[in-house]
Chains A and B, each alone.
Chain A
Amino acid sequence: MHIDWMNFTPWTALAGGALIGLAAACLLLFNGRIAGISGIVGGLLRPRATDIGWRLAFVAGLLIAPSVYRLFAALPRIRIEASWPVLVVAGLLVGLGTRYGSGCTSGHGVCGVSRLSPRSLAATLSFMAAGFATVALLRHVV
């Protein structure tokens, strides 16, 4: 395994992670809810959507984050390599998969693992394994 030390950013990764954890802690302690993005968004799409207010507010917070960041500094590098057709397929799989699997990187990966849920740990291992396998296949086999 070759570690890419040039692009390894331990401190910003830890600091950003800490902010994510803080946000999850805040939503849990004040609102009593899990900060799982797919669950929060998915709840808005139910036939009879309930408690829409806080869900929309949370999504709005995520949406304005880049603009708020820009008030203090230029946005860091963002590069989306995937082509439009790949993005469509990927988006469909992410939407469908996170709803069937009841969670994504935030709900299972951060919140679920934080509360030591075996179910979330299993889900996290599954999507990580699938992510590693997909990239390996696309970059080193095909």
Chain B
Amino acid sequence: MTILFALFSGLIFGLGLIVAGMANPEKVLAFLDLGGRWDPSLALVMVGAIACASGAFYHARARRLSLLGATMQLPTATRIDRRLLGGSLLFGIGWGLAGICPGPALVLLGAALPKGLIFVCAMLTGMLLFEGLERLTRRP
């Protein structure tokens, strides 16, 4: 059952990205280009998403189990450290280079675009690189 709901929410998420224009890197870059002809649309994507999700997150705080009986797994980390900020900066640079973040990357791959495939392969390599580096630093 959780698998079915995960599939459904992934699908709705992807449709949302397409409707919102976030699956079009050209539009994402137009949003990030404050100094050019700025397209503010994507700020409204955030507004729409947060408006719809915040009620659920507020409700979820008091729950121990989900509606399907799964454990609620909310993040517990609160520290704002170099890892968080440095990682986010790296991500932002990559995002600004191509106008693609992880969700839209998978949608572009799903649309069978060769450039989407290249980006996703590079992104997965970056994630595997992280796992490798983590193992190196954990075992001195």
Contacts and interface: CB of A to CB of B under 8 A. Distances in A.
Given A18-B49, A75-B18, A100-B83, A42 B115 contact: no
A85 B91 CA distance: 17
Nearest to A125: B88
Size class of the A contact interface (CB-based, 8 Å)? 35 or more
Size class of the B contact interface (CB-based, 8 Å)? 35 or more
B127 A138 contact: no
Given A32-B73, A54-B6, A118 B80 contact: yes
A35 B53 CA distance: 10
Contacts of B87: 96-102, 123
Contacts of A89: 94, 97, 122
Contacts of A138: 96-97
> What are the 4 closest A-B residue pairs judged by CB atoms, nearest first?
A61-B10, A95-B126, A16-B20, A17-B48
8 contacts: A10-B44, A32-B63, A60-B10, A80-B115, A81-B99, A89-B97, A105-B95, A105-B101
Interface of A: 1-4, 7-10, 12-35, 37-38, 41-42, 45-47, 53-55, 57-69, 75-82, 84, 86-106, 108-115, 117-119, 122-124, 126-136, 138-140
Given A9-B41, A47-B131, 9 more contacts: A1-B38, A3-B37, A75-B18, A87-B119, A89-B122, A92-B94, A93-B93, A95-B129, A133-B96
